[in-house]
Amino acid sequence: MDSNIALYKIPESVLVIIYTSRLDVLLIERADHPGFWQSVTGSKDTSDEPLLETARRELEEETGIVAAPDQMRNWGLSNVYDIYPAWRHRYAPGVTRNTEHVFSLYLPESCAVRLSPREHTASQWLAHQKAAEKCFSPSNAKAILLLPRFKESVN
Protein backbone atom coordinates (compact mmCIF):
# COMPACT_ATOMS: atom_id res chain seq x y z
CA MET A 1 0.00 0.00 0.00
CA ASP A 2 1.26 3.47 -0.86
CA SER A 3 2.34 5.31 2.30
CA ASN A 4 1.36 8.65 0.71
CA ILE A 5 -2.34 7.73 0.78
CA ALA A 6 -2.74 9.06 4.30
CA LEU A 7 -0.62 12.12 3.60
CA TYR A 8 -1.90 13.39 0.25
CA LYS A 9 -5.09 13.47 -1.76
CA ILE A 10 -5.12 11.73 -5.12
CA PRO A 11 -5.56 14.32 -7.91
CA GLU A 12 -8.42 12.37 -9.48
CA SER A 13 -11.95 13.09 -8.33
CA VAL A 14 -15.63 12.78 -9.13
CA LEU A 15 -18.40 15.32 -9.51
CA VAL A 16 -21.91 13.94 -8.94
CA ILE A 17 -24.87 15.97 -10.22
CA ILE A 18 -28.04 14.95 -8.35
CA TYR A 19 -31.19 16.02 -10.17
CA THR A 20 -34.94 15.48 -10.42
CA SER A 21 -37.43 15.07 -13.26
CA ARG A 22 -37.97 18.86 -13.19
CA LEU A 23 -34.19 19.36 -13.54
CA ASP A 24 -33.88 20.66 -10.01
CA VAL A 25 -30.31 20.14 -8.80
CA LEU A 26 -29.05 19.56 -5.27
CA LEU A 27 -26.32 21.95 -4.11
CA ILE A 28 -24.44 21.76 -0.82
CA GLU A 29 -22.48 24.53 0.91
CA ARG A 30 -18.88 23.88 1.95
CA ALA A 31 -18.21 24.09 5.69
CA ASP A 32 -14.64 25.32 5.14
CA HIS A 33 -15.70 28.08 2.71
CA PRO A 34 -19.15 29.53 3.51
CA GLY A 35 -20.84 30.76 0.34
CA PHE A 36 -19.12 28.10 -1.82
CA TRP A 37 -21.95 25.97 -3.22
CA GLN A 38 -21.32 22.80 -5.17
CA SER A 39 -22.56 19.38 -6.17
CA VAL A 40 -21.17 16.28 -4.47
CA THR A 41 -17.43 16.03 -5.12
CA GLY A 42 -14.56 14.01 -3.81
CA SER A 43 -11.25 12.35 -4.54
CA LYS A 44 -10.46 8.69 -4.90
CA ASP A 45 -9.38 7.13 -1.59
CA THR A 46 -6.86 4.84 -3.29
CA SER A 47 -5.35 4.83 -6.76
CA ASP A 48 -7.18 1.59 -7.61
CA GLU A 49 -10.62 2.64 -6.30
CA PRO A 50 -13.02 2.48 -9.28
CA LEU A 51 -14.51 5.88 -10.16
CA LEU A 52 -18.06 4.54 -9.80
CA GLU A 53 -17.27 3.47 -6.25
CA THR A 54 -15.74 6.87 -5.51
CA ALA A 55 -18.94 8.52 -6.76
CA ARG A 56 -21.19 6.25 -4.71
CA ARG A 57 -19.03 6.64 -1.57
CA GLU A 58 -18.89 10.43 -1.81
CA LEU A 59 -22.65 10.60 -2.48
CA GLU A 60 -23.38 8.66 0.68
CA GLU A 61 -20.76 10.45 2.82
CA GLU A 62 -21.89 13.94 1.78
CA THR A 63 -25.69 13.50 1.52
CA GLY A 64 -26.68 10.21 3.12
CA ILE A 65 -28.14 9.10 -0.23
CA VAL A 66 -27.32 5.46 -1.03
CA ALA A 67 -27.40 4.62 -4.73
CA ALA A 68 -27.02 1.26 -6.42
CA PRO A 69 -24.34 1.11 -9.13
CA ASP A 70 -26.97 0.95 -11.88
CA GLN A 71 -28.56 4.20 -10.64
CA MET A 72 -25.38 6.18 -11.26
CA ARG A 73 -24.57 7.43 -14.74
CA ASN A 74 -21.01 8.07 -15.88
CA TRP A 75 -21.15 10.90 -18.42
CA GLY A 76 -17.80 9.96 -19.94
CA LEU A 77 -16.82 13.59 -19.38
CA SER A 78 -13.65 14.63 -17.57
CA ASN A 79 -12.45 18.09 -16.61
CA VAL A 80 -8.79 18.85 -15.94
CA TYR A 81 -8.29 22.01 -13.94
CA ASP A 82 -5.82 23.82 -11.70
CA ILE A 83 -6.32 22.96 -8.05
CA TYR A 84 -7.35 26.06 -6.12
CA PRO A 85 -4.32 27.40 -4.19
CA ALA A 86 -6.26 27.15 -0.92
CA TRP A 87 -6.42 23.35 -1.33
CA ARG A 88 -3.01 22.57 -2.87
CA HIS A 89 -1.52 21.69 0.53
CA ARG A 90 -3.71 18.56 0.49
CA TYR A 91 -1.82 17.19 -2.52
CA ALA A 92 1.76 15.96 -2.97
CA PRO A 93 4.35 18.69 -3.60
CA GLY A 94 4.28 19.78 -7.23
CA VAL A 95 0.73 18.52 -7.90
CA THR A 96 -1.25 21.47 -9.25
CA ARG A 97 -3.88 19.86 -11.53
CA ASN A 98 -6.83 17.55 -10.88
CA THR A 99 -8.87 15.37 -13.21
CA GLU A 100 -12.58 15.38 -12.34
CA HIS A 101 -14.97 12.75 -13.76
CA VAL A 102 -18.66 13.66 -14.06
CA PHE A 103 -21.45 11.36 -12.86
CA SER A 104 -25.14 11.92 -12.20
CA LEU A 105 -27.92 10.48 -10.12
CA TYR A 106 -31.56 10.90 -11.12
CA LEU A 107 -34.18 11.07 -8.37
CA PRO A 108 -37.90 11.35 -9.23
CA GLU A 109 -38.23 14.26 -6.79
CA SER A 110 -36.18 16.28 -4.34
CA CYS A 111 -35.55 14.78 -0.93
CA ALA A 112 -34.07 15.75 2.41
CA VAL A 113 -30.38 14.96 2.79
CA ARG A 114 -28.12 14.16 5.74
CA LEU A 115 -25.04 16.37 5.48
CA SER A 116 -21.66 15.59 6.94
CA PRO A 117 -21.25 18.67 9.22
CA ARG A 118 -17.47 18.50 8.89
CA GLU A 119 -17.82 19.01 5.12
CA HIS A 120 -21.09 20.87 4.45
CA THR A 121 -23.42 23.17 6.36
CA ALA A 122 -26.49 23.57 4.15
CA SER A 123 -28.27 22.16 1.13
CA GLN A 124 -30.79 23.41 -1.37
CA TRP A 125 -32.57 22.24 -4.51
CA LEU A 126 -32.54 24.76 -7.35
CA ALA A 127 -33.64 24.81 -10.98
CA HIS A 128 -30.59 23.71 -12.97
CA GLN A 129 -29.83 27.16 -14.44
CA LYS A 130 -30.03 28.82 -11.02
CA ALA A 131 -27.89 26.04 -9.55
CA ALA A 132 -25.23 26.61 -12.22
CA GLU A 133 -25.18 30.34 -11.39
CA LYS A 134 -24.69 29.60 -7.69
CA CYS A 135 -21.75 27.15 -8.08
CA PHE A 136 -18.32 28.52 -7.26
CA SER A 137 -16.62 25.97 -9.52
CA PRO A 138 -16.73 26.65 -13.27
CA SER A 139 -16.53 22.93 -14.12
CA ASN A 140 -19.45 22.21 -11.79
CA ALA A 141 -21.52 25.01 -13.34
CA LYS A 142 -20.70 23.79 -16.86
CA ALA A 143 -21.74 20.22 -16.02
CA ILE A 144 -25.04 21.42 -14.57
CA LEU A 145 -25.74 23.43 -17.72
CA LEU A 146 -25.11 20.25 -19.76
CA LEU A 147 -27.67 18.35 -17.69
CA PRO A 148 -30.54 18.57 -20.20
CA ARG A 149 -28.30 16.84 -22.74
CA PHE A 150 -27.09 14.11 -20.37
CA LYS A 151 -30.18 13.40 -18.29
CA GLU A 152 -31.55 9.89 -18.18
CA SER A 153 -34.97 9.27 -19.68
CA VAL A 154 -37.74 8.99 -17.12
CA ASN A 155 -39.89 6.54 -19.07
Measured between alpha carbons, how far is 155 from 109 in angstroms, rounded to an integer? 15
With a pLDDT cut of 90, the percent of the chain lying above it is 88
Q: What is the dihedral of CA 20, 110, 32, 82, to 10 degrees?
A: 0
CA-CA-CA-CA dihedral for 82, 152, 122, 6, to nearest 10: -50
152 falls in which pLDDT band (50, 70, 90)? low
Q: Taking Cα atoms as reference points, which of 86, 84, 82, 58 lies closest to residue 72? A: 58
For 97-151, write each residue's pLDDT tens digit: 999 999 999 999 999 999 999 999 999 999 999 999 999 999 999 999 999 988 7
The pLDDT of residue 121: 96
- Complete domains list, the chain, with CATH: 3-150 (3.90.79.10)
